[in-house]
């Protein structure tokens, strides 16, 4: 395998603009030199976390993600490459450049100088402990592959990539949907992840309860036992939401919050309501409330100044539940079915929260 690959007429995508230049890939890292400005970007191999080969408008492109969350995009590649003058022409085996070379390694090539772009990335980076494919994410919305690394998780979607260090995870929640067929897994983040001008303080995944998975960790059994001390095993199987939450709990080293003893009039552990312009679910927890999913809200009991049961009428058959925090922030959860009033009032009273208004208009 050659030690260096060089490509002319490659375009670096920066905030929507395309800057042409020369790209060099080596075992030491990636260097791009802008043809117009002469500016040189140097990415050390040790900084790389992932590389993705993809089709783009200019042919084929390489997207690189570093361990500190930066994304670099280079377009203008041909589908097959061979920089070796001793063996001109394209690589004869198309498998050398797979369409999605995230985990494959290139086979031996008849040409000593012909390599795949993946080869350089694979030499430079470690492997994920495990990968969950195409998980449904409500915020930020989309389907993402989630790669679990020792110190961070990496969300890879069609448009956006996020690298989330475990040190930024505040809390984990596992919440049953009111339909009893789905589960929410909520990850509270500080600082939040950003997409343009939007900040996401919560990562919310939605699972079907009947979706199962068999999972093998990319570690030997001794490493698994030493690191996780029985919390995980090399080979595991079960519901997908159980596997994701179990792995996250072990890596983040935080407890998972689940609903307590509250049950609404229908037997569910949550209440259907509206917050701002969207309908969602409010979960009374042992130490707070959480609303999912848009926008998600978590309020601890020790933050609450008082709650208010806003007066309803017999014609609307609903009431509003208002929370004001000690900082003066107000949250109004509206259009709650009147039948939930007694259950919610008893819960709030048992938690010894200050109640501003105790009555509903009959």
Q: In this predicted model, what pLDDT tens digit does every residue of 132-168 receive, in sequence order?
A: 999 999 999 999 999 998 888 888 888 788 888 898 9
Q: Are residues 95 and 139 in the same domain?
A: no
Q: What is the average per-residue pLDDT within 247-256?
A: 94
Q: Are residues 196 and 215 in the same domain?
A: yes
Of 31, 33, 59, the C-alpha closest to 43 is: 31
List C-alpha distances in Å: 338 to 306, 307, 317, 362.
21, 17, 5, 11
Does residue 111 carry a pLDDT above 70?
A: no
Name the DSSP letter for residue 284.
Answer: E
Does residue 58 carry a pLDDT above 70?
A: no
Q: Are residues 188 and 172 in the same domain?
A: yes
**pLDDT reported for residue 79:** 59
Question: Does residue 285 lie within any of the structural domains?
Answer: yes
Q: Are residues 139 and 248 in the same domain?
A: yes
* Sequence-ordered list of residues with C-beta below 8 angstroms from that of 326, at least 6 positions apart, any chain: 303, 304, 305
**pLDDT reported for residue 123:** 38
| 35 contacts 20 by C-beta, under 8 angstroms | yes
- For residues 55 and 263, the model is more confident at 263
**pLDDT reported for residue 313:** 56
226 phi and psi angles, rounded to 5 deg: -65, -40
**pLDDT reported for residue 3:** 61
Weakest mean pLDDT among 29-43, 179-193, 313-327: 313-327
Question: Does residue 151 lie within any of the structural domains?
Answer: yes
**pLDDT reported for residue 85:** 38
Weakest mean pLDDT among 41-55, 127-141, 162-176, 259-273: 41-55
228/60 Cα distance (integer angstroms):
41
Hey, is 276 helix, strand or coil? coil
**pLDDT reported for residue 311:** 72
Q: Are residues 151 and 179 in the same domain?
A: yes
Question: Does residue 355 lie within any of the structural domains?
Answer: no
Q: What is the average per-residue pLDDT within 227-238?
A: 93
Question: Does residue 19 lie within any of the structural domains?
Answer: yes
Chain center to CA of 358 = 41
- For residues 41 and 124, the model is more confident at 41
CATH number at residue 213: 2.30.29.150
Domain boundary, last residue among 235, 257, 279: 257
Q: Are residues 43 and 113 in the same domain?
A: yes
**pLDDT reported for residue 17:** 81
| DSSP β-ladder status, 182-195 and 235-239 | unpaired
pLDDT in tens, 318-360: 899 999 999 999 999 999 999 999 999 999 999 999 998 755 5
Q: Are residues 135 and 252 in the same domain?
A: yes
**pLDDT reported for residue 282:** 97
Q: Are residues 101 and 147 in the same domain?
A: no
Q: What percentage of the chain carries pLDDT values higher than 70?
A: 83
Helix/strand/coil percent split, the chain, to 5 = 15, 50, 35
Weakest mean pLDDT among 5-9, 272-276, 356-360: 356-360
Tokens of residue 76, six digits: 């203008």
Burial track 254-266 (b if 16+ CB lie within 10 A, e otherwise): beebebeebebee
Total domains present in the chain: 3
| 166 contacts 154 by C-beta, under 8 angstroms | no
Chain center to CA of 61 = 23
Question: Does residue 361 lie within any of the structural domains?
Answer: no
Q: What is the DSSP string of 20-44?
A: EEEEEEETTEEEEEETTT--EEEEE
Q: Are residues 22 and 110 in the same domain?
A: yes
| 25 contacts 117 by C-beta, under 8 angstroms | yes
CATH number at residue 334: 2.30.29.30
**pLDDT reported for residue 80:** 53
Q: Are residues 89 and 11 in the same domain?
A: yes
* Sequence-ordered list of residues with C-beta below 8 angstroms from that of 191, at least 6 positions apart, any chain: 168
Question: Does residue 262 lie within any of the structural domains?
Answer: no
Q: Are residues 183 and 300 in the same domain?
A: no
Domain boundary, last residue among 62, 95, 124: 124
Domain boundary, last residue among 203, 225, 257: 257
Does residue 81 carry a pLDDT above 60?
A: no
Query: What average pLDDT does the chain have?
Result: 82
140/56 Cα distance (integer angstroms):
24
| DSSP β-ladder status, 130-139 and 71-77 | unpaired
**pLDDT reported for residue 359:** 53
| 117 contacts 125 by C-beta, under 8 angstroms | no
**pLDDT reported for residue 274:** 94
**pLDDT reported for residue 169:** 94
Question: Does residue 87 lie within any of the structural domains?
Answer: yes
Domain that holds residue 238: 130-257
Tokens of residue 50, six digits: 């992932």
Of 56, 72, 113, the C-alpha closest to 90 is: 113
| 84 contacts 113 by C-beta, under 8 angstroms | yes
Does residue 94 carry a pLDDT above 90?
A: no
What is the end-to-end Cα distance of the chain in Å, rounded? 81
- For residues 57 and 37, the model is more confident at 37
Q: Are residues 228 and 290 in the same domain?
A: no
Tokens of residue 308, six digits: 């208010």
Weakest mean pLDDT among 123-137, 178-192, 289-303: 123-137
**pLDDT reported for residue 362:** 44
Name the DSSP letter for residue 240.
Answer: H
Element spanning 345, H or E = helix 341-350
Element spanning 119, H or E = helix 117-124
Question: Does residue 167 lie within any of the structural domains?
Answer: yes
| 90 contacts 25 by C-beta, under 8 angstroms | no
- For residues 5 and 101, the model is more confident at 5
Q: What is the average per-residue pLDDT within 68-89?
A: 63
293/282 Cα distance (integer angstroms):
9
**pLDDT reported for residue 126:** 53
**pLDDT reported for residue 99:** 34
């Amino acid at each position: 395998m050659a030690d260096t690959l060089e490509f002319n007429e490659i375009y670096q995508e920066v905030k929507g603009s395309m800057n042409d230049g020369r790209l060099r890939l080596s075992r030491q890292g990636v260097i791009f030199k802008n043809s117009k400005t002469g500016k040189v970007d140097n990415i050390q191999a040790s900084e790389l976390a992932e590389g993705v080969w993809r089709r783009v408008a200019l042919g084929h492109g390489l997207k690189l993600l570093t361990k500190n969350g930066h994304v670099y995009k280079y377009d203008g590649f041909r589908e097959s490459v061979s920089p070796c003058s001793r063996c001109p022409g394209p690589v004869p085996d198309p498998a050398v450049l797979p369409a999605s070379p995230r985990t494959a390694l290139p086979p031996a090539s008849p040409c000593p100088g012909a390599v795949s772009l993946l080869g350089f990335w694979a030499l430079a980076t470690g492997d994920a402990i495990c990968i969950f494919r195409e998980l449904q994410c409500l915020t930020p919305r989309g389907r993402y592959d989630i790669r679990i690394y020792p110190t961070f998780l990496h969300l890879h979607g069609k448009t956006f990539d996020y690298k989330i260090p475990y040190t930024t995870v505040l809390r984990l929640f596992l919440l049953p949907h009111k339909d009893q067929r789905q589960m929410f897994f909520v990850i509270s983040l500080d600082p939040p992840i950003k997409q343009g001008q939007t900040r996401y303080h919560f990562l919310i995944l939605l699972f079907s309860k009947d979706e199962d998975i068999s999972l093998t960790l990319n570690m030997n059994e001794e490493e698994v036992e030493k690191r996780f001390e029985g919390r995980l095993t090399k080979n595991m199987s079960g519901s997908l939401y159980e596997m994701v939450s179990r792995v996250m709990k072990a890596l983040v080293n935080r407890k998972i919050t689940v609903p307590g003893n509250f049950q609404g009039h229908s037997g569910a552990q949550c209440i259907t309501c509206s917050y701002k312009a969207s309908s969602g679910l409010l979960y009374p927890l042992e130490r707070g409330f959480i609303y999912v999913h848009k926008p998600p809200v978590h309020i601890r009991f020790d933050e609450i100044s008082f709650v208010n049961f806003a007066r309803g009428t017999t014609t609307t058959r609903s009431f509003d539940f208002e929370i004001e925090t000690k900082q003066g922030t107000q949250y109004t959860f509206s259009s709650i079915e009147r039948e939930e009033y007694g259950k919610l009032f008893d819960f709030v009273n048992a938690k010894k929260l200050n109640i501003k208004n105790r009555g509903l208009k009959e």
